[in-house]
Amino acid sequence: MSNVRMTSIQNWYFKTAGANDWKLATVPGCVHTDLLKHEMIPDPFVGENELDLQWVDKQDWEYKTTISLSAEWLQEERVELIFEGLDTYADVYVNGEKVLQADNMFRSWKVDVKSYLKIGENQLLVYFHSPINHDIDKPDQLGYNLPADNDHSEDGGVGQQKLSVFARKAPYHYGWDWGPRFVTSGIWKGVYLEAWSGAKLTDFHIQQQAVSSEKAEINAVLEIEATKEIEVAIVISDQHDLNIKKACKLAKGSQVIEIPILIENPQLWWSNGLGKPYLYCFQADLKLNERIKHTSVVKTGLRSISLVREDDQHGQSFYFELNGVPIFAKGANHIPNDSFQTRTTREEYEHDIATAAASNMNMLRVWGGGIYEYDMFYELCDEYGILVWQDFMFACSMYPGDSSFMNSVKKEAIDNVKRLRNYACIALWCGNNEMDAAWSQYEEKAGWGWKQRYNASQRKKIWKAYDEVFHHLLPSIVEEYDPNTDYWPSSPMRELSHDKNQHATFDTVEKGDIHYWDVWHGLKPIEAYKEKVGRFMSEYGFQSFPEKKTVLTYAKEEELALESDVMLHHQKNGAGNRLIKNYMEMYYKKPKDFPSFLHLSHILQADAIRSAVEAHRLNMPYCMGTLYWQLNDCWPVASWSSMDYYGRWKALQYVIKNRFKTTALIVDQKDDSLSVYVVSDQLQDQEVQLSLHIYDLNGQPIFQETQAVFVRQNTSTVIYETDIQSLGIAEESNNIVLFAQLTVNGNVIDSVEHVMVKPKDLVLQDPQIQLTYVDGGIELESQSFAMNVWLETDKEGCFEDNNFSLIPGIKKYITYTDSVRRNIHFTKTQEITNVNVSSMYDYIVQ
């Protein structure tokens, strides 16, 4: 057993600074959630309450507790107070003496407080300064506002003062185009007291030097703090037969010791869909006279991961290679799960990660405007085989470059690289979100118009700060502390060329990664997704509203109208409602009522992103990644998410699950031609059977063809091509559906229904869907073609499939699960009753 004493500090109280009414607090937590728990504020997410709660961030707040210590604690040589996270400007006092001044939400803080402690009760107080008042004068001191267009300063009551860029604090707290403005304060991670003597492990890193299926060459890198010269033994073991012992003579102070390890025939960690994400559990024991002084454990997967950027006939590749295998990245961008991130539970995180895995994803991007996620997020990604593209926390802004800011960023980056580098899931460190493209230093007429706000001297200063952080400071930290993981300066970007070829635009698709927003922000039709395909599509998206059940958590029945004040307040993208309505009119008939409008927005979003995903996948290996914006929400809102704040799957989530299958059929229609692709992420070739059928919407067969197909591993292949005229269906295009199916030995691998015209041009009849409860699931069939069939129950959970089509004569069997956690394949977990079924016919005016 370790003889390092450790206790979690509990029993906190809080109050407004200067007041005397201490109330029980929750730590980890924040002021807003504590106020809400005591019913001192209304629910921040209901109606327009957000605007009435902006006073909270203008106040200073105090948190206090009492620590009772025995004499044994103070007999140790060191007694350290550890804050894993303080949000953000905080002074810490022990028995009335100031011991710490914090100024960075993303850092951990540790201070030896032995000299301030006494036997018995000790008072611990944390004084939080208002982040608004702390920074309110900084734009004036600088002489101008820095670009921060998503900082909702006017909602916050501070006019045009863009303060988010000055605080090393989650940018989304200040508002975003999908999130509210709640500038929090509080102790947002754990607080501990540790006491020890002699020596202690302060960091344990499993550095993976070279990993293959034959052998893993790794280094156990240990940081050890010693209070004096001392001889110790270090023992490294795992859950198998590893046992390495090394005698060491420690010097007083901090030192690093490396112990090489060779593992023959290791079990490799694979991403979701390619194999098991096997995890090793390494343990380091620090021993003195054969007694364990301290133990540290690292759970990680052994794998090699690299970003491959090689010149080719098209430009330059951009893909991830895992264990020597090129990976087509399938996934989404992930934002914080809550505006008050301390409320997120492990169960909610697991719902996210299990949803990703169940949706056949293999990558999530942790976006730079939120937080470096909690350890449990990465633990779950390791367990489920989900790779992580990890942004540093900078997004859509330019930042100051003074020495104190730079020093804070340096310590923040070191803290988080060291904290996260052991996770097998970490595939890439990325400097920031969209800043290189937005500023566009080397192309005067490109970018977001930011440069034009400043004179030549100001421009030079702003870019110098950018260049220092993202081209020098951050890559040097990654190189020093996590040298085997690649660094990418900004997303999107073409290459670090220091000229105009550096910046990504919607048209620069031949190298680097792309954020494609001409569909949506640029008002281009959905078909434009097929025209603009880059080497790696790291961001693109399309909005929808949440379902009615979710809308009713923030709006009353009488407020259910597109232009009501509450509905507008829960739409943070200024043009969002208009864009949804305009796009809907382009592709669908008029919704019959507002609930139908809400659901039709789901269908619209799903159809749009499906078009994008299919375009990206069929262009493999030219394109090797598609991460849509966004997986989740931080509050109930109209947004680009595929599941809402409560974890409820929208139609898009089901489409993603279907279109991200390891082997997928894609029907691509262009003008008068029709092509069928098979996209395979499998690591072996396949012999499959393709069957093509064309039916009229009453289920009468018009055309049928079957052929054997050879599908090559890990690529996209055209397996059928024809012109529509030759099928003899051109005159009936609004009354037919193509059904394509892929089978192996009679087992269906994938099937696709494809209509030849826009949904609004189809001649739909009442499908008269019949639903039967059978054998732990449901069976459905229809009398005429049913499009966008939607199943609902009064329980929270997920169906195996949803938002699908039914062709008369073809039955569909579906199971249901009450939770996707640990149940990736939707086995029959729960009998269901009271299932409501509807389809496109039910949502539109006939």
What are the DSSP E strand ranges found in 95-242? 97-102, 109-112, 120-128, 186-187, 191-196, 199-211, 215-226, 230-237
Predicted local confidence at residue 528, as pLDDT: 96
- pLDDT tens figures, 562-614: 999 999 999 999 999 999 999 999 999 999 999 999 999 999 999 999 999 99
Kind of pairing between the strands at 537-539 and 514-515: parallel
Angle between helices 474-481 and 403-420 (to 10 degrees): 30
* Chosen CATH of 198-300 out of 3.30.1360.30, 1.20.1440.230, 3.40.640.10, 2.60.40.10: 2.60.40.10
Predicted local confidence at residue 1, as pLDDT: 43
The enclosing H or E element of 754 equals strand 747-755
Domain residue ranges in the chain: 5-192, 198-300, 322-655, 661-761, 764-846
Q: Which residues make Cβ contacts (< 8 Å) with residue 791, sequence separation at least 6? A: 778, 799, 802, 814, 835, 836, 837
- pLDDT tens figures, 367-406: 999 999 999 999 999 999 999 999 999 999 999 999 999 9
Q: Could you tell me if 679 and 668 are in contact, meaning their C-beta atoms sit under 8 angstroms apart?
A: no
- pLDDT tens figures, 31-41: 999 999 999 99
- pLDDT tens figures, 91-132: 999 999 999 999 999 999 999 999 999 999 999 999 999 999
CA distances from 465 to 175, 406, 449 (A): 24, 9, 19
Q: Please give the average per-residue pLDDT across 809-832, as a whole number.
A: 70
Predicted local confidence at residue 671, as pLDDT: 82
Q: Could you tell me if 326 and 307 are in contact, meaning their C-beta atoms sit under 8 angstroms apart?
A: no
The enclosing H or E element of 347 equals helix 346-358
Domain 661-761 -> CATH class: mainly beta
Q: Please give the average per-residue pLDDT across 806-823, as a whole number.
A: 82
Fold match, 198-300 / 661-761:
yes
- φ, ψ for residue 598, nearest 5 deg: -60, -45
Mean residue pLDDT across the chain: 95
- φ, ψ for residue 607, nearest 5 deg: -65, -40
Q: What value, to the nearest 5°, has the Cα angle with vertex 184 and ends 181 and 187?
A: 160
CB atoms within 10 A of CB 396: 21
CB atoms within 10 A of CB 204: 20
- φ, ψ for residue 566, nearest 5 deg: -70, -45
Amino acid type, 723: D
Amino acid type, 726: S
- pLDDT tens figures, 169-219: 999 999 999 999 999 999 999 999 999 999 999 999 999 999 999 999 999
Give the separation between CA 608 and CA 533, rounded to whole angstroms: 14
Architecture of domain 5-192 in CATH?
Answer: Sandwich (2.60)
CA distances from 230 to 196, 239, 251 (A): 14, 29, 7
Query: Model confidence at 830, in pLDDT bands (50, 70, 90)?
Result: low
The CATH number of 322-655 is: 3.20.20.80
Tokens 């002699």: give the residue: 198
Tokens 């890439």: give the residue: 428
Q: What is the 3 state secondary structure string of 139-175?
A: HHHHCCCCCECCCCCCCCCCCCCCCCCCCECCHHHEC
Query: Model confidence at 817, in pLDDT bands (50, 70, 90)?
Result: confident
Q: Could you tell me if 17 and 61 are in contact, meaning their C-beta atoms sit under 8 angstroms apart?
A: yes
Predicted local confidence at residue 508, as pLDDT: 87
Domain 764-846 -> CATH class: mainly beta
For the chain, what percent of residues have pLDDT higher than 90?
93
Give the separation between CA 114 and CA 81, rounded to whole angstroms: 9
- pLDDT tens figures, 61-78: 999 999 999 999 999 999
Give the separation between CA 184 and CA 57, rounded to whole angstroms: 6
- pLDDT tens figures, 403-426: 999 999 999 999 999 999 999 999
- pLDDT tens figures, 458-494: 999 999 999 999 999 999 999 999 999 999 999 999 9
The token pair at 812 is: 């569909």
Give the separation between CA 198 and CA 569, rounded to whole angstroms: 58
- pLDDT tens figures, 698-748: 999 999 999 999 999 999 999 999 988 877 776 788 999 999 999 998 899
Predicted local confidence at residue 729, as pLDDT: 77
